[in-house]
Amino acid sequence: MTRLWRLSLDASSRSALVGAGLTALLLVALSALLVLPGDRGLSGTAVVLLVSITLVTSLQVFIGNSGILSFGHVAFMGVGAYVTALLTIPLAIRQTQLPDLPPILAGIELGGLSAVLVAGTVCAVLGVIVGATLVRMPVNAVVMATLALLIVVFTVLLNWQSLTRGGQGVFGIPRLTTPPVALGAAILFVVVARLFKSSGVGLRLRASREDELAARAAGIDVPRVRLVSFTLSAGMMGAAGSLWALNVLAFDPDQFSFAMTFALLAMLVVGGKESVLGGVVGAVIVVVITELLSRVEQGVTIGTFELPRITGTVQFALAALIIASLIWRPDGLVGRREAEDLVPWIRKWFVRSRGPGVGSVPGPAPVPAPGRAPLPDGPLLTGTGIAKAFGGIRALAGVDVEVRPGEILGIIGPNGSGKSTLLNVLSGITTPDAGRVILGDEDITAGPSHRTARLGLTRTFQNIRLFDHLTVRENIAAAHGARLEDVDRLLGAFDLTAHADSAADTLSYGQQRRLEILRALAMRPSVMLLDEPAAGMNEVESDVLMESIRAIARDDGCAVIIVDHDLRLITRLCDRIQVLETGQTLAVGTPAAVVADPAVVAAYLGTGHGSGPTTSTAMAAGE
């Protein structure tokens, strides 16, 4: 048993469990504080708080990890609540309330646990259907689509009279969410959310939150990981809505509209949306404020002062809280930290005491390099007749390119000559208007870029694109097919071991460049595209880089295509050079031949200047 435990849980899941455990202790303490005095009002508040935690944690699973705002999750809460009402209201009461129920619903009476499970399942199914539509849309459009979801479900709840009684609402739901049930549920939700965050899908989802384009280029199927989290989150929300219904006992559709959405989002923003603990802390703050103010709203006498009754104070207070926290603490009170980060010594002790596997990261199980074809003799990557126009601008006008295993191909050309567009087409980010791209024996012309990456073509970007708020190790582990045992070796080889647990955005510029190459390498590519890897490096640094690139090509037989302005580096490093100008190939051949080519010299320097490799600085400056 112990062995299994060790095998199945790596360090990151273990520290997630530690964090969830600490958060659970916090919940137990809070509940004890509220319930033990025996005051009915206070223990009612405890249940409200714990149920709010299940709701906000469900929301956090999607919003926190994907970085996509959803106004629509309360719709799942509503569906969960109504499903629960229809399954748990005693049959006699149900008959008088809803005489027109279909027979199947008129005859079933379930217990609390079954109702919660059914509600969760129904919402997860709904979540798959809705999510499959959402994840195909541009991110900013998703936000608006979730708003539409809220309205559609609200309209249905309000008008499907035979099932919901419309605006009159339903009543008579048994009170099954007792304080112990609520506490157990809240702990379970926190554990699930925390483990999901550290899981492979959670990690890849967080990578897509940091940089969607880079995530795709790292082989991550972004719509898929979004769909998984949306479904999980919807299912949890449905179950949480069920628990909520089993506590409030009577409700109507109005409760699943903006006021609720607003309160839940306030919890996330104020506490910290990227952290599970943040949601919990936010729930505590919002519930406390709401409870206090609702007492004020009923009129409070403090000493001789009698405060006037003010309705809507809660709404004002929450709005003020949101705006203030967006201005002064945009990442929320706890920021990106989790419970275990607040008590570092506990985590260290726990993780160390578990023996081997320390420092490993989550990721898919070890698999052979994805889709890597055996090295063919001929060209590995072939692009033919590639053309691409943006509006009226022809970025590429029929370019051929090919590279063989172990070969290093340099691509140079003035700004606007089409170098970057060519790399984008080859890596599947941009679909060309004409032409084909073949990798091994796969046609990769139409991408999508995560497929291209999985087939063995990986890349770096001109403006470094890392997953800024993930650690160095997570940056690599997020890449598709990155193997646990490779990560440590690569970190060592690229001199980044000391920074393994630092956030990527805290690295120096040179380290960030190296990390990006590392991430591309972790997928064990057969072709690597490097977009200006030496930009901003001094000669010593670029010499080290050059040596690493040579080793990649020589040792692994990886084909490398490199775009750079540093002609010294390009001419010394590359087997062949291809010169682009205005979207066409000006010359292609060995470095010596290309540099001596009169057309190239003319393009770079104008005629009448000297030629040859010695002019490299002038040529680079000409860029």
Q: Which stretch binds other proteins (CB under 8 A): 145-153, 378-386, 478-486, 577-585?
A: 145-153
Q: Which stretch binds other proteins (CB under 8 A): 12-20, 376-384, 422-430, 545-553?
A: 422-430
* Closer to other proteins by Cβ: residue 69 or 520: 69
Q: Determine, following the binding rule CB under 8 A, whether residue 69 of this chain makes contact with other proteins.
A: yes
Pairwise CA distance, residues 193 & 334, whole Å:
16
Q: How many CB atoms lie within 10 A of CB 475?
A: 30
Q: Which of 151, 288, 342, 551 binds other proteins (CB under 8 A)?
A: 151
The residue assigned the tokens 């009476």 is 109
Q: Which of 33, 148, 592, 599 binds other proteins (CB under 8 A)?
A: 148
Q: Which stretch binds other proteins (CB under 8 A): 11-19, 42-50, 138-146, 354-362?
A: 138-146
* Closer to other proteins by Cβ: residue 316 or 509: 316
Q: Determine, following the binding rule CB under 8 A, whether residue 229 of this chain makes contact with other proteins.
A: no
* Closer to other proteins by Cβ: residue 433 or 575: 433
Q: Sign of the CA dihedral 317, 319, 324, 330?
A: positive
Residue 589: helix, strand or coil by DSSP?
Answer: strand
Q: Determine, following the binding rule CB under 8 A, whether residue 531 of this chain makes contact with other proteins.
A: yes
Q: Which of 25, 91, 137, 307 binds other proteins (CB under 8 A)?
A: 137
Which residues have CB under 8 Å from 443's CB, separation 6+?
436, 437
Which residues have CB under 8 Å from 330's CB, separation 6+?
none
CB of 565 to other proteins, least distance (A): 16
Q: Determine, following the binding rule CB under 8 A, whether residue 258 of this chain makes contact with other proteins.
A: yes
- Percent helix, strand and coil across the chain, each to the nearest 5: 60, 10, 30
Q: Strands 527-531 and 559-563, how do they pair?
A: parallel
Question: What secondary structure does DSSP assign to 365-401, as a single string?
Answer: PP-PPTTPPPPPSS-SEEEEEEEEEETTEEEEEEEEE
- Give the type of residue at 440: G
Question: What secondary structure does DSSP assign to 291-349, as a single string?
Answer: HHHHHHHT--EETTEEPPP-TTHHHHHHHHHHHHHHHH-TT-SSTT--HHHHSHHHHHH
Q: Which stretch binds other proteins (CB under 8 A): 90-98, 228-236, 259-267, 514-522?
A: 259-267
Q: Determine, following the binding rule CB under 8 A, whether residue 319 of this chain makes contact with other proteins.
A: yes
Show the site string, 432-461: x = touches other proteins by CB under 8 A, - = not.
-----------------------------x
Show the site string, 477-496: x = touches other proteins by CB under 8 A, - = not.
--------------------
Pairwise CA distance, residues 538 & 510, whole Å:
10
Which residues have CB under 8 Å from 511's CB, separation 6+?
496, 499
Q: Which stretch binds other proteins (CB under 8 A): 76-84, 150-158, 436-444, 489-497?
A: 150-158
* Closer to other proteins by Cβ: residue 6 or 336: 336
Residue burial 175-195, b: 16+ Cβ < 10 Å; e: rest: ebbebebbbebbbbbbbbbbb
Pairwise CA distance, residues 359 & 362, whole Å:
10
Pairwise CA distance, residues 59 & 75, whole Å:
12
Q: Determine, following the binding rule CB under 8 A, whether residue 582 of this chain makes contact with other proteins.
A: no
Q: Determine, following the binding rule CB under 8 A, whether residue 415 of this chain makes contact with other proteins.
A: no
Pairwise CA distance, residues 508 & 331, whole Å:
23
Q: Determine, following the binding rule CB under 8 A, whether residue 505 of this chain makes contact with other proteins.
A: no
Compute how many residues bind other proteins; rule: CB under 8 A.
Answer: 52
Size of the chain, expressed as the number of residues it contains: 623
Q: Which stretch binds other proteins (CB under 8 A): 311-319, 341-349, 575-583, 601-609?
A: 311-319
Q: Determine, following the binding rule CB under 8 A, whether residue 67 of this chain makes contact with other proteins.
A: yes
Footprint of other proteins (CB under 8 A): 67-69, 133, 136-138, 140-141, 143-145, 147-148, 151-152, 155-156, 158-159, 213, 258, 262, 265-266, 269, 310-312, 315-316, 318-320, 322-323, 326-327, 330, 390, 395, 420-421, 423-424, 429-430, 461-463, 465, 531
